[in-house]
Structures are given as structure tokens and as C-alpha cells.
């Protein structure tokens, strides 16, 4: 039997906003495979995520294949706009949704995890934000474009820099996995606000980062997921369902992807089965990207 056993591994998962996020399914799979999971959530959604983790009505969404429940060992706040707390503007520090947390920068959060758990084996980047995502690129403001780039693309570099000391030379190596979308390579007109540019940047950054941390046996890969109606995706376009149907009809597998498929492929990329795989983009999109129509 080929083992897929993550016991003894610590996985830091960013980007859980609710129980429909890709990151939710990824985090559950990592725990199901034996890893300890720490969630780092946007300070504004942390309370919501905690309720998904505890409410009786959400129990089913927490169930793992063996009947046990998803239970992260820790849930920390992190706003991926900020590398250190020195970057946080006074008005944000004073906002009541932030003021209750003394630390929510990328470096502060990663240091807290690395120090408490003695290392990080798996880092999941599943974060994207574009204030003007519903506006086509041509109408996108400079401010919104740069903000989207900082949160959705640069944050990967910032996280890998912060995590590299804790991920270096772990037993069996360590793995970073981020989420991208085909709009980073081909024109998808509705994917606005500069988000396509963010994904293009994320893709070359992941390849560069693979080089910069490869000498420490840390691998960096991305999954290019097919369209999936997470809450955020539905907000991009009220006709998101039609978009999913279009992709399904034009994919070799003639169906939409499920979030569990992204989670399963993430497990592969984080496992020893992918020990020689880095700097890659794995398409989990029912093959949609290979089509010419
Ligand atoms: N849903 C799709 O169709 C699709 C397809 C391909 C790729 N993706 C990518 O998958 C990833 C996850 O998206 P999703 O569909 O699960 O939606 P989601 O909204 O559930 O996940 C996005 C997460 O980003 C977080 N976030 C936004 N701004 C942040 C900030 N400043 N600091 C920290 N966290 C922040 C949100 O809180 C949320 O949890 C994203 O990178 C997205 O671009 C999604």
C-alpha cells in the first residue's frame, strides 16, 4: 500500500472564510490524513469561522471520512495586507474588529505558529481579494489594482519568506501550495479588478519562490482550480452558475470540479508522492485549460 500519512506534520492553512472555502476542504483533508492544522483567518471573519467550527448545525460540514470532526489545533488572525504590525495604519488598528487582536501580521502570525509548534511542514495560501473584482480590468482604478496585488499575489512571497526558517529541512521536506486560476494565463473578461494580473504574478512568483527555498527542501506549487461557486466566487458574478456550466460543457470531463478534488490534489502535492515536484501549476479543472474553445 502507498502511504499518505501526515501524522506528526503541522499544516498552516490560510484562506478559510467559511465552510465553502477551498481552504476549508483542504484543511479538513489535511487533518483526515493525520496532520495537525492551524488556521489563519482574516480578522474580520475569524468569529464566523469559529462558529462554523463549533455550532451544532454545522457539524455535518466538519465531519471527516472516519466520522471524527475537523478541529484545528489553533485559529489565529492574519490580515495578508500587512507583513508586520508596523505596516498597519492607525485607523485599522483602531477598528473594533481588529483592536481586540494584538498581532495579525503575516510575520507575527507565522512566528507564533513556528515557535509554538517547533516548525511548519505545510503552508496553504488560499487568499484573494479584489475590491473592484466586478469591474473589468479596463475600468479598474490604480488603487484597487495595487491593493489586489498586495493581498492576492505579494502575500505569497511574504508568507514564504516568514515561514522559510520554520519549513527548512523538515523530515521528508516541506510544501507550500497556493491557489490560482486560468485567468492568470488567458483572457477571462469578467475576472476584473486586476485579479487576473494577480494570478499571473502569483504563478511566476511561485516558480521563483520554488528556487529560493528549494535548497532547504521546501517545495512550492500552485493548483489552478476550475470555477467553483464559493461565496466569494458568487460575489464576482451573479451569473457564476452559468460560467460553471460553460466550463463544465467545454471540459474534457464534461462536469464541474468539486472542492474535495482540489483538497485531494493538495494532499498529493504535500505528500512524499510529490517529493520531486516543485515550481509547478497543477490544473484541477476537469481539463478545461487544454481546450481551444
Ligand atoms: N472559486 C473559484 O472559482 C476559484 C477558482 C480558481 C482559484 N480560486 C482561488 O482559490 C482561493 C480561495 O478562494 P475561494 O473560492 O475558496 O473563496 P473564499 O472567499 O472562500 O477564500 C478567499 C479567502 O481570502 C481571504 N482574504 C481576503 N482578503 C484577505 C486578507 N487581506 N487577509 C487574509 N485573508 C484574506 C478571505 O477571508 C477568504 O477566506 C483564492 O486564491 C481564489 O482566487 C478560486
Tell whether the torsion through CA atoms of 181, 187, 192 and 193 is positive or negative: positive
Per-residue pLDDT band for 1 (boundaries 50, 70, 90) equals: confident
Neighbours of 159 (CB within 10 A): 27
Maximum separation of any 2 CA atoms in the chain, in Å: 55
* pLDDT digit string, tens, across residues 218-269: 999 999 999 999 987 887 777 888 889 999 999 999 999 999 999 999 999 9
Q: Which residue out of 110, 181, 232 has the highest number of ligand 1 atoms within 8 Å of its CB and is therefore the one to mutate?
A: 232
**23: alpha, beta or left, given left = phi > 0 and alpha = psi -120 to 50?**
alpha
**252: alpha, beta or left, given left = phi > 0 and alpha = psi -120 to 50?**
alpha
With residues binned 3-state (H G I as helix, E B as strand, rest as coil), the percentages for the chain, rounded to 5, are: 45, 15, 40
The residues that bridge with 219 in the sheet, in sequence order, are 175
Residue 282 has pLDDT above 80, yes or no: yes
Which of 191, 228, 283, 288 is catalytic? The answer is 191
The rounded mean pLDDT for the chain is: 96
Which of 181, 228, 283, 288 is catalytic? The answer is 181
DSSP at 288? G
Q: Reply yes or no on whether 181 is catalytic.
A: yes
- First-to-last alpha carbon distance for the chain, in angstroms, is 40
- Give nearest CA residue, ligand 1 atom 37: 17
Please tell me whether the overall predicted TM-score, pTM, comes out greater than 0.85 for this model.
Answer: yes
Residues in Cβ contact with 231 at an 8 Å cutoff, skipping those fewer than 6 apart: 17, 18, 20, 21
Domains and CATH numbers, the chain: 10-290 (3.40.50.720)
**pLDDT of res. 243:** 87
Rounded to whole angstroms, how far apart are CA atoms 235 and 231? 6
* CA 227 to ligand 1 center in whole angstroms: 12
**Residues 122/270, Cβ–Cβ less than 8 Å:** yes
Q: Reply yes or no on whether 82 is catalytic.
A: no
Rounded to whole angstroms, how far apart are CA atoms 186 and 167? 33
* CA 180 to ligand 1 center in whole angstroms: 10
**pLDDT of res. 181:** 97
* pLDDT digit string, tens, across residues 14-26: 999 999 999 999 9
Question: Who lines ligand 1 at CB under 6 A?
Answer: 15-17, 21-23, 42, 45, 78-81, 126-129, 151, 179-181, 225, 227-228, 230-233
Q: Which residue out of 21, 78, 259 has the highest number of ligand 1 atoms within 8 Å of its CB and is therefore the one to mutate?
A: 21
Residues in Cβ contact with 172 at an 8 Å cutoff, skipping those fewer than 6 apart: 121, 272, 275
Residue 12 has pLDDT above 80, yes or no: yes
Please give the average per-residue pLDDT across 26-54, as a whole number.
Answer: 97
Q: Are strands 74-77 and 122-125 parallel, antiparallel or unpaired?
A: unpaired
**pLDDT of res. 236:** 74
Rounded to whole angstroms, how far apart are CA atoms 12 and 23? 11
* CA 2 to ligand 1 center in whole angstroms: 32
State the cell numbers at 16: 478559510
* CA 188 to ligand 1 center in whole angstroms: 17
Amino acid at each position: 500500500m502507498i502511504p499518505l500519512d501526515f501524522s506528526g506534520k503541522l499544516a498552516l492553512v490560510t484562506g478559510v472564510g467559511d465552510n465553502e472555502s477551498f481552504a476549508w476542504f483542504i484543511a479538513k483533508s489535511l487533518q483526515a490524513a493525520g496532520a495537525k492544522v492551524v488556521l489563519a483567518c482574516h480578522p474580520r471573519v475569524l468569529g464566523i469561522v469559529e462558529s462554523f467550527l463549533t455550532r451544532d448545525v454545522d457539524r455535518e460540514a466538519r465531519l471527516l471520512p472516519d466520522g471524527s470532526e475537523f478541529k484545528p489545533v489553533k485559529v489565529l488572525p492574519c490580515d495578508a495586507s500587512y507583513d508586520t504590525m508596523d505596516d498597519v495604519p492607525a485607523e485599522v488598528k483602531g477598528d473594533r474588529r481588529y483592536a481586540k487582536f494584538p498581532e495579525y501580521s503575516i510575520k507575527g502570525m507565522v512566528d507564533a505558529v513556528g515557535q509554538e509548534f517547533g516548525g511548519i511542514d505545510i503552508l496553504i495560501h488560499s487568499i484573494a481579494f479584489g475590491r473592484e473584482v466586478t469591474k473589468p480590468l479596463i475600468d479598474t482604478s490604480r488603487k484597487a489594482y495595487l491593493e489586489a496585488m498586495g493581498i492576492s499575489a505579494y502575500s505569497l512571497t511574504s508568507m514564504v519568506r516568514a515561514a522559510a526558517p520554520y519549513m527548512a529541512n523538515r523530515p521528508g521536506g516541506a510544501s507550500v501550495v497556493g491557489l490560482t486560476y486560468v485567468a492568470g494565463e488567458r483572457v477571462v473578461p469578467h475576472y476584473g479588478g486586476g485579479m487576473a494580473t494577480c494570478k499571473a504574478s502569483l504563478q511566476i512568483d511561485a516558480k521563483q519562490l520554488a528556487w529560493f527555498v528549494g535548497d532547504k527542501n521546501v517545495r512550492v506549487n500552485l493548483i489552478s482550480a476550475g470555477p467553483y461557486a464559493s461565496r466569494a466566487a458568487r460575489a464576482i458574478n451573479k451569473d457564476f452558475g452559468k460560467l460553471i456550466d460553460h466550463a463544465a460543457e467545454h471540459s474534457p470531463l464534461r462536469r464541474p470540479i468539486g472542492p474535495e478534488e482540489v483538497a485531494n490534489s493538495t494532499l498529493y502535492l504535500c505528500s512524499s508522492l510529490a517529493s520531486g515536484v516543485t515550481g509547478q501549476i497543477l490544473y484541477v479543472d476537469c481539463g478545461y485549460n487544454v481546450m481551444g474553445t
